[in-house]
Amino acid sequence: LILIPPVLVLSLPVGNIKSSALSQLGRRTAEPAIAELMNAVLARPHLISLAAGFTDNESLPVARTRQLLEEVLCSPQAQGALQYGTTLGELPLRQLTAERLQKLDGSRGKSGVYAPENLLITHGSQQFLYMLTEALCDPGDIVLVEDPTYFVYLEILISHGIRTHGVRLKETGIDIEHLESVLKRLKRTGEIRRLKYLYLVTYFQNPSGITTSFEKKREALKLLKRFERAAGHPIYLVEDAAYRELRFAGDDVKSFLTLKGSEDRVIYTSTYSKPFATGVRVGFGLMPEPIFKVVARIKGNHDFGTSNLLQQLIARALASGHYDDHLTALRKRYAHKARVMGDALTEHFPMEVKWNTPTGGLNYWARVPANVRTGAKSKLSQLALANDVLYVPGQLCYCNDPDRKRPDNEMRLSYGNASEANIREGIKRLGSVLNKLIH
């Protein structure tokens, strides 16, 4: 007998509407934490936000985009750009994306994995993640995530009533032994039949900055396969590579797609938001054919296609070399901003605080001593706010795992959007608050 605990239907305050007027999903969907953080920034213009997931304003490619849009609108495809398109996305962009991905992975020749036919263009990778979750999960199903993970994705899971377990992170990606013990436990209790996939942010992970090594990828995929008989269905691996191209040191790591056996198990998603312009919000997902069909139908219901104008803009940026030129400059910019934050951390943070040194992405992840809390209601957070500084409390990035307490002594510090002067000043103020609390 397999006992599945009932799905928790949270009754969230929903203004003065009677909750029975709403769907369960409507009731489960809380105000996104990110919205609260953004509102705090808007309400206090002096606030130094090291929390925002925004990218660097100054380097947004305004001139390039103006030129590319002009080209799009002067081309024979201009009318198509302003017309509805296909649900799957424009073929040239799907082809360019598949080729780019294959090249990034160092894979040559004809490979079915990188077929544009299995690549769906979406409104940012966020939309892809949402639709994929709808395609694969029912309320009560289980998804495994990194501990910590991308907190906006956690909110999608919560609002769909999906249960989560965290897999501990080590320096080179998830702790494979821990993954194995989680899988064994799920098998023992029979809950493995509700397990749908493992979601990993494999490059410069948001929030920890960690990149998953290729060896870890191989082991993780192998391990999931081992438990499929017990699950009674495939256990997919979802690779979110949102930050892959924002690398400013070290070598790229090949994706899960290059592994044997990935063809029918790996779902890969990434985005043109971060490396080009977050306001454009063009992303994509590459998946095995049966999943592709289902997600494409859901996309049909969502919006029957991403904006053609924006797709043509990105396709032109890729084909003309503007995209790569911009990316080269952007990487230098983030490398510099990361150094500015690193230097400020060394100068102002107490010795007891530890942090990673990112080689890509947008964030530092700092751990304070266990007796200091970083959560939204903590003294640290309140004092930081009183000093007009905002960070992302680490606790937000941990899923609701029944098997452990959510850690509350970490914070995500982003150098993406803040100016260099604000990075220095923000870290200085945070350092002074931390010194008071620790010493």
Ligand X SMILES: Cc1ncc(COP(=O)(O)O)c(C=O)c1O
Whether the CB-CB separation of 206 and 242 falls below 8 Å is answered with: yes
Minimum CB separation of residue 281 from ligand X in Å reads 5
Least distance (Å) between residue 280 CB and ligand X: 9
Q: Which stretch binds ligand X (CB under 6 A): 101-109, 120-128, 229-237, 315-323?
A: 120-128
Q: Is 438 helix (H, G, I), strand (E, B) or coil?
A: helix
3-state secondary structure of 16: strand
Which residue among 186, 201, 253, 427 contacts ligand X (CB under 6 A)? 201
Residue found under tokens 């007998």: 1
| Residues 53-92 close enough to bind ligand X by CB under 6 A | 53
Candidate segments 118-126, 220-228, 348-356, 374-382, binder of ligand X by CB under 6 A: 118-126
124 makes contact with ligand X (CB under 6 A): yes
* CA 87 – CA 299 distance, rounded (Å): 7
Residue 155 lies near ligand X (rule: CB under 6 A): no
Q: Which two tokens stand for residue 439?
A: 């010493």
What's the one-letter identity of residue 123? H
In the complex, what is the shortest distance from the CB of residue 35 to ligand X, in angstroms, rounded to a whole number?
A: 14
Verify binding: residue 133, ligand X, rule CB under 6 A. Answer: no
* CA dihedral of residues 383, 384, 387, 392 (deg, nearest 10): -150
CA distances 114 to 100, 133, 208, 255, Å, are 9, 22, 29, 12
Contact 178, 232 (CB under 8 A): no
Q: Is residue 271 a contact point for ligand X (CB under 6 A)?
A: yes
Q: Are 281 and 53 in contact (CB under 8 A)?
A: no
Q: Letter for the amino acid at 132?
A: L
Side by side, the strands of the sheet bearing 119-123 are: 119-123, 282-286, 266-271, 236-240, 195-201, 142-147, 163-170, 173-174
Among 416, 413, 400, which Cα is nearest to 148's?
400
Measured from the CB atom, the residue of 77 and 269 that comes closer to ligand X is: 269
Between 281 and 326, name the residue whose CB sits nearer to ligand X.
281
Residue 43 Cβ vs ligand X, minimum distance, rounded to whole Å? 22
Which of residues 155 and 240 has its CB atom nearest to ligand X in the complex? 240
How is the beta sheet containing 410-414 ordered, strand by strand? Answer: 354-355, 363-367, 410-414, 392-393
Nearest residue (CB) to ligand X, 101 versus 201 = 201
* Residue 434: C-alpha distances to residues 87, 114, 131, 283, 426 (Å): 50, 48, 41, 38, 12
* 101, 132, 210, 242: which one binds ligand X (CB under 6 A): 242
Q: E strands of 59-208, at which residues?
A: 119-123, 142-147, 163-170, 173-174, 195-201
Instruction: Kindly tell me which residue out of 126, 212, 306, 312 binds ligand X, with binding defined by CB under 6 A.
Output: 126
Measured from the CB of residue 242, what is the shortest distance to ligand X in angstroms?
A: 4
Contact call for residue 211 and ligand X (CB under 6 A): no
Residue 125 binds ligand X (CB under 6 A)? yes
Q: Segment near ligand X (CB under 6 A), from 121-129, 139-147, 162-170, 187-195?
A: 121-129
What is the closest distance, in whole angstroms, from the C-beta atom of residue 274 to ligand X in the complex? Answer: 7
Q: Can residue 364 be called a binding residue for ligand X (CB under 6 A)? A: no
SS percent in the chain: helix, strand, coil, step 5: 45, 15, 40
Chosen residue from 55, 60, 131, 150 binding ligand X by CB under 6 A? 150
Q: Is 161 in the site for ligand X (CB under 6 A)?
A: no
Q: Pull the structure tokens for residue 404.
A: 């452990």
CB of 271 to ligand X, least distance (A): 3
Per CB under 6 A, the segment of 64-72, 275-283, 349-357, 406-414 that binds ligand X is: 275-283
Nearer to ligand X, 277 or 372 (CB): 277
Stretch of 124-132, 159-167, 253-261, 380-388 contacting ligand X, by CB under 6 A: 124-132
Name the one residue in this structure whose structure tokens are 């936000």: 49
Residue nearest to ligand X (CB): 124
Query: Of 160-168, 278-286, 297-305, 397-405, which segment contacts ligand X by CB under 6 A?
Result: 278-286
| List of residues contacting ligand X (CB under 6 A) | 53, 124-126, 150, 201, 206, 240, 242, 271, 273, 278, 281, 283
